Amino acid sequence: MSRFAAPIAEQIWDMKYRFKNADGSPIDVTVEDSWRRIARDLARAEKDPAAWEVKFYEALEDFKYLPAGRITAGAGTARQVTLFNCFVMGTVPDSMSGIFDMLKEAALTMQQGGGIGYDFSTIRPRGADVKGVAADASGPLSFMDVWDAMCRTIMSAGSRRGAMMATMRCDHPDVEDFITAKADSARLRMFNMSVLITDPFMEAVKADGSWELVFDGKVYQTVQARDLWNKIMQATYDYAEPGVIFIDRINKSNNLNYVEQIAATNPCGEQPLPPYGACLLGSVNLARLVTNPFETNAELDPEALKELVGTAVRMMDNVVDVSKFPLDAQAQEAKNKRRIGLGVTGLADALLMLGLRYGSDEAARQTDRWLHAIARAAYLASVDLAKEKGAFPLFDAEAYLASGNMMNMDEDVRNAIRENGIRNALLTSIAPTGTISLYAGNVSSGIEPVFAYAYTRKVLQKDGSRTEEEVVDYAVQLWRDKFGEKTLPEYFVNAQTLAPSDHVKMQAAAQKWIDSSISKTINCPEDISFDDFKDVYMQAWDQGCKGCTTYRPNDVTGSVLSVSESSEKAPGEGAEAPQATTGADVVYMSDPLDRPQSLEGSTYKLKWPDSEHAIYLTINDIIIGGHRRPFEVFINSKNMEHYAWTLALTRMISAVFRRGGDVSFVVEELKAVFDPRGGAWVQGKYIPSILAAIGGVIETHMVKTGFIEGEGMGLKSDPKAEVVNLTEAPRGKACPSCGEYSLQMVEGCMTCTSCGFSKCG
């Protein structure tokens, strides 16, 4: 019997996490093989690997503990990849050479698949003097454009997607340009952006006081704090960025504030990190720990939770030792502090199983109790590890216990740390879990509410047919299994129906026991007034959150998923559950294409008459289901006149190939291009242009590899260039991986509910 609770879960495993040979054939035959692979790899850091492999496997079994995607995909594969999700890079020097040294480090990190965060507040503002060269500085935004181009280039080369986070202090002279940068829809697309908000700034906002914009001790401008705050709010209201990070609150509560200063976060904000800090993530699946769901005696098993947390902490601590790192500085930082980020997923589903309405006072109290139990168990497990393996190298008992976060910890835990030390400087964080939550059976993501009870996706099968598949929330499916199609109770609320204040309440309840931070999206209705929208952020500040991210659907951000009601009645009044739908006839590619370590390919020489240099085409294939299909193209020539268009063609064709589906139409499109200056006779055949000749070479390759049956037998047009009915309900933006219109904002990160694509990697 399959361990997967839903078809989409097995498909996510096969696409994202299953270990395969270069030809696409599986090494992990079952998901049990994947669990065994991970358990064995993390157990090799132990003195008794065989015994701990058993314990680690039991934690992974049935999706109870969910390591972050890079661990699930990379552990035990011997691939040269990092198991850490994201990094904050080193402090950017205010010099040209230093800036480009940092750019190089960023590129090396992203090549291994890590997302990166940067604070650009250290770069002098636009127009400032540059001593010694009689010039004005171009400012941090111009260098962010360079980073953005680098990230696009890394992605175009086939490396795994990695997101970037840019932060800037609220007192930097260029902060207003930073705030409005995303108003240009073509600019800084590879970045998430957040403003670092200080305590004095918030005090000035509340007092309607003035605010100085300062760099290197020089005041460049004085503004009204409330005006600047309103500019941040207006930008976020209009196009969902920048986010807000309460940086002083983060530094005051940091367990390590005696040895580090934080000025940036990882791309989704749940891990504020020092220079070269790395985030190591994993989640306890609360939905799998509830006994007697929907009964009067339903509860989350406290002993099972405590044991699972203890095992998870040990597994994550071992990742520090077995993982590779893009840079030596990142490895040193991780081993000096052994920071981990254990969080939760399935919280909303677990609350539903106990009959609690997400956002209610009782749900917030229950969340507080669960997160408190997890924090206690995690800290005490780390103390036990310190007894066995030693405390983290930079541990200083009195300084550590004097930090803002540790002052709130239970006294028995503080005493245990004082007596024995602690293995991991920080232990808890709540991350975006969009993909791993789908993999775990479509449990609710992180601490988010259920987005939709069910939605329909259309799946393109290998034979070209399309089937419809319902994707049902894990708790809703349990309800159906137990009670059939009986009407859902009124406490089944979702992201579409919750008030923003309910979101804030839940984030604040969880934050109390999270020593790092939380990735959470506060969904706001499109028609929320600007004043009410601003109040959401003030509530987050007043209730002790470390940051705030909202999502208000509009013409710029998209309308994520349309939600249809079969009745105007609410659940509990005789209506069926609302269903999220993807609207038009959209296509999910059953085999999204991630680049393996190696590919099979062929190189062809194309000599065009009257051209001094030949053109060389390399076409690499990926093997799926035993069949070769084109994956990427490289077009090279020594003729520099060809450089720009051959590079553009390389990127465009490769991008089309990687999206999946029948891409043979590319051949016909190229073969139809004619040169008004005339074509040429090549091997007895008239070719209307050099582009048509390139199309012919690609066609020859497709025929040779069996992708198409013969010359002229490819598609004549793009099968995905379908007519869209503009009278339909608004839809979200298309997923760049599978093409479906099923992107939703999950914990500050656009995530596809069909294929698991995440902007944040």
Q: How confident is the model over 535-547, as pLDDT tens digits?
A: 999 999 999 999 9
**pLDDT(687) > 90:** no
Shared domain for 457 and 312, answered yes or no, is yes
Percentage of the residues of the chain whose pLDDT score is greater than 70:
85
Rounded to the nearest 5°, which phi and psi values hold at 279?
-105, 130
Shared domain for 202 and 338, answered yes or no, is no
pLDDT of residue 112: 79
pLDDT in tens, 25-57: 999 999 999 999 999 999 999 999 999 999 999
- 75, 83 contact by CB (below 8 A): yes
Residue 564, SS3 per DSSP: strand
**pLDDT(594) > 80:** no
* Average pLDDT, integer, range 632-655: 82
- 90, 327 contact by CB (below 8 A): no
Whether 746 is in a domain gets the answer no
**What is the band of 89 on the pLDDT scale with cuts at 50, 70, 90?**
very high
pLDDT of residue 462: 60
Instruction: Give the C-alpha separation, 460 to 457, whole Å.
Output: 10
| Secondary structure letter of residue 181 according to DSSP | G
Residue 559, SS3 per DSSP: coil
Shared domain for 474 and 352, answered yes or no, is yes
**pLDDT(739) > 60:** no
Element (H, E) at 621: strand 615-624
Enter the tokens of residue 238.
């209009």
Whether 535 is in a domain gets the answer no
Final residue of a structural domain among 674, 705, 736: 705
CB atoms within 10 A of CB 230: 15
Q: Which range (320-334, 379-393, 621-635) has the least confidence?
A: 621-635
**pLDDT(495) > 80:** yes
Annotated catalytic residue, options 46, 105, 241, 270: 270
Shared domain for 96 and 75, answered yes or no, is no
| Secondary structure letter of residue 407 according to DSSP | G
| Secondary structure letter of residue 518 according to DSSP | B
Final residue of a structural domain among 687, 705, 723: 705
**What is the band of 579 on the pLDDT scale with cuts at 50, 70, 90?**
very low
Shared domain for 297 and 207, answered yes or no, is no
pLDDT of residue 586: 32
Instruction: Give the C-alpha separation, 224 to 204, whole Å.
Output: 8
- 368, 361 contact by CB (below 8 A): no
Final residue of a structural domain among 668, 688, 705: 705
pLDDT of residue 760: 58
CB atoms within 10 A of CB 653: 24
pLDDT in tens, 316-363: 999 999 999 999 999 999 999 999 999 999 999 999 999 999 999 999
Residue 270 appears among annotated catalytic residues:
yes
Q: In Å, how far are 43, 49, 279, 417, 520 from 390, measured between CA atoms?
A: 18, 19, 21, 12, 34
CA angle 66, 72, 78 (to 5 degrees): 150
pLDDT in tens, 143-189: 999 888 888 777 644 445 567 999 999 999 999 999 999 888 778 88
pLDDT of residue 162: 61
Please name the residues in contact with 750: beta carbons below 8 A apart, sequence gap of 6 or more.
733, 743, 744, 758, 759
pLDDT in tens, 229-258: 999 999 999 988 999 999 999 999 999 999
Q: Which range (240-244, 376-380, 646-650) has the least confidence?
A: 646-650
pLDDT of residue 475: 96
pLDDT of residue 757: 66
* Average pLDDT, integer, range 741-761: 63
Shared domain for 321 and 462, answered yes or no, is yes
pLDDT of residue 134: 61
Element (H, E) at 226: helix 225-239
Burial class of residue 226, CB neighbours in 10 A (0-12, 13-18, 19+): middle
CATH number at residue 362: 3.20.70.20
Annotated catalytic residue, options 85, 192, 255, 266: 266
Annotated catalytic residue, options 268, 279, 735, 755: 268
Instruction: Give the C-alpha separation, 266 to 244, whole Å.
Output: 14
Instruction: Give the C-alpha separation, 212 to 226, whole Å.
Output: 12
pLDDT of residue 432: 84
pLDDT of residue 652: 87
Enter the tokens of residue 512.
């109390």
Shared domain for 401 and 475, answered yes or no, is yes
- 401, 417 contact by CB (below 8 A): yes
pLDDT of residue 591: 43
pLDDT of residue 744: 66
Q: Helices 500-511 and 361-389 meet at what angle, rounded to 10?
A: 30
pTM of the model: 0.78
Shared domain for 69 and 124, answered yes or no, is no
Mean pLDDT across the chain? 86
Count structural domains, the chain: 3
- 329, 341 contact by CB (below 8 A): no
Task: Give bridge partners of residue 466 from the DSSP assignment.
Answer: 460
Enter the tokens of residue 577.
């559950």
Instruction: Give the C-alpha separation, 169 to 709, whole Å.
Output: 59
pLDDT of residue 614: 84
Shared domain for 340 and 200, answered yes or no, is no
Whether 20 is in a domain gets the answer no
Shared domain for 313 and 462, answered yes or no, is yes
Q: Helices 140-156 and 96-111 meet at what angle, rounded to 10?
A: 30
Shared domain for 515 and 374, answered yes or no, is yes
**What is the band of 374 on the pLDDT scale with cuts at 50, 70, 90?**
very high
Q: Which range (507-516, 711-720, 724-733) has the least confidence?
A: 724-733
Whether 149 is in a domain gets the answer yes
Shared domain for 232 and 293, answered yes or no, is no
Q: Per DSSP, which regions of 531-592 are E strands?
A: 547-548, 550-551, 562-564, 579-581, 588-589
Rounded to the nearest 5°, which phi and psi values hold at 473?
-60, 145
Choose between 215 and 136: higher pLDDT. 215
Which range of residues forms the domain containing residue 607?
A: 601-705
* Average pLDDT, integer, range 690-719: 84
| Secondary structure letter of residue 133 according to DSSP | T
Select the highest-mean-pLDDT range: 159-168, 480-489, 732-741.
480-489
pLDDT of residue 720: 57
Rounded to the nearest 5°, which phi and psi values hold at 298?
-65, 140
Whether 618 is in a domain gets the answer yes
**Residue 322's closest CA among 565, 45, 576?**
45
Please name the residues in contact with 359: beta carbons below 8 A apart, sequence gap of 6 or more.
449, 493, 498, 499, 501, 502, 503, 505, 506
Whether 97 is in a domain gets the answer yes
pLDDT of residue 749: 63
Choose between 224 and 687: higher pLDDT. 224
**pLDDT(683) > 90:** no
**What is the band of 132 on the pLDDT scale with cuts at 50, 70, 90?**
low
pLDDT of residue 578: 38
**Residue 388's closest CA among 340, 423, 414?**
423
Percentage of the residues of the chain whose pLDDT score is greater than 90:
59
Residue 299 appears among annotated catalytic residues:
no
Whether 162 is in a domain gets the answer yes
Residue 600 appears among annotated catalytic residues:
no
DSSP β-ladder status, 115-119 and 86-88? parallel
**pLDDT(677) > 90:** no
Whether 553 is in a domain gets the answer no
Q: In Å, how far are 185, 237, 267, 620, 658 from 433, measured between CA atoms?
A: 27, 25, 13, 33, 24
pLDDT in tens, 6-22: 888 998 999 889 999 88
